[in-house]
Amino acid sequence: MDPVRPLTLIEAVREQTRVRHYSIRTEKTYVGWIRRYIRFCGGRHPRELGVDALTTFLTHLAVDLKVAAGTQNQALQALLFLYRDVLRMDLPMLDQVVRANKPRRLPVVLTHDEVRRVFAELRGRSRLVVGLLYGSGLRLAEALALRVKDLDLERRELVVRHGKGGKDRVSVIPAELVTPLRAHFAALEGWYRRERSAGAPGVPVPNALKTKYPGASTSFPWLWVFPSHSICRDPYDGQLVRFHVNPRTLQRTVQAAIQRAGILKPAGCHTFRHCFATHLLESGYDIRSVQELLGHSDVKTTMIYTHVLNRGGRAVKSPLDGLF
């Protein structure tokens, strides 16, 4: 019997992320930061380094590269995962790290008229996706990861599976989207049947399900609501599969629509999730309901939208308004 080859450091990182069922995006992010850390330390193995090297790297990100606070924290989480979960090394408190400043920024929110103007510039699939971002409060990754089985058009609700933080949640399907989604599903089913007749690859499914139900990857309920036109390899097992639409494709389409609509605000796909929350609060819905629909763990995260309601600064009437 051939001896088992020991895992490389990066292979060990990937193995540990998959054991913990982290998303492929998290895995790629962690691997990227770990490689960057090793290059910064001259190619030395992280086991030979310690808290001093980690502190120097994180300080370099904040002081020299002036990265955002969220970026620095992302790097820190990746390296803590490397030392604690992969190398099994305990690190002392990281008190000496220079933290990047985390400015308190309000989200960009479009008015109802501006949202209307953007929708007027969208067609087909992109219009449906943005409809779910604005009408259901989804993140772009959540909307693209929807499968046919996750939408119940009769009850007008959808289930977000494994959203941010690995949590599931239920949100509303706007009445305006029910008819377009029915038409989309009808066209999707016809395309699906042609794909099956041609013997095209299926979609990726969770590994446990793949073992228990081998036919799940080629069944219609597990098909993406917005499948990609191209075939690629599954990063987990290397098999040919069909993923959902690339987020960058939608981001470019939405950016072009925003420009054509003549909107000068720095808006993008995620802006419509901000609009969903703000416009619901404007309509009188309580903040706890909005928190649940957005999937926020803490209501404090949702409370930021109370600062951007369409009532002027802090809902104060300016003295100039009554002067003349």
Q: What is the pLDDT along the chain (324 residues), one digit of tens a residue?
A: 445 667 888 999 999 998 888 888 889 999 999 999 999 999 999 988 878 888 889 889 888 888 888 888 899 889 989 988 998 887 776 656 666 666 677 889 999 999 999 999 999 999 999 999 999 999 999 999 999 999 999 999 999 988 877 788 999 999 999 999 999 999 999 999 999 999 899 898 877 777 778 788 899 999 999 999 888 888 877 788 999 999 999 999 999 999 999 999 999 999 999 999 999 988 888 888 888 888 888 888 888 887 766 554 445 566 656 665
Residue 127 lies in a domain: yes
Domain assignment of residue 211, given as a range: 112-307
Q: Provide the number of structural domains found in the chain.
A: 2
Residue 106 lies in a domain: no
Q: How far is CA 143 from CA 139, 212, 214, in A?
A: 6, 26, 25
Are 173 and 244 part of one and the same domain?
A: yes
Residue 256 lies in a domain: yes
Work out the end-to-end distance of the chain between its first and last CA atoms, rounded to an integer number of angstroms: 93
Given a contact cutoff of 8 angstroms between Cβ atoms, the answer to whether 40 and 85 are in contact is no
Given a contact cutoff of 8 angstroms between Cβ atoms, the answer to whether 280 and 290 are in contact is yes
Given a contact cutoff of 8 angstroms between Cβ atoms, the answer to whether 173 and 151 are in contact is yes
Identify the domain boundary among 19, 52, 86. 86
Residue 2 lies in a domain: no
Are 223 and 122 part of one and the same domain?
A: yes
Are 37 and 160 part of one and the same domain?
A: no
The angle at the Cα of 299, spanning 296 to 300, to the nearest 5 degrees, equals 110
Residue 120 lies in a domain: yes
Question: Which CATH number do you get for residue 134?
Answer: 1.10.443.10
Are 146 and 284 part of one and the same domain?
A: yes
Are 288 and 229 part of one and the same domain?
A: yes
The catalytic residues are 139, 164, 270, 273, 296, 305
Q: What is the pLDDT of residue 219?
A: 92
Residue 96 lies in a domain: no
Question: Which CATH number do you get for residue 66?
Answer: 1.10.150.130
Core vs surface per residue 179-200: b (16+ CB within 10 A) or e = eebeebbeebeeebeebeeeee
CB contact set of 51 (below 8 Å; sequence gap of 6+): 91, 92, 94
Residue 319 lies in a domain: no
Residue 95 lies in a domain: no
**244 forms bridges with which residues in the sheet?**
227
Are 15 and 124 part of one and the same domain?
A: no
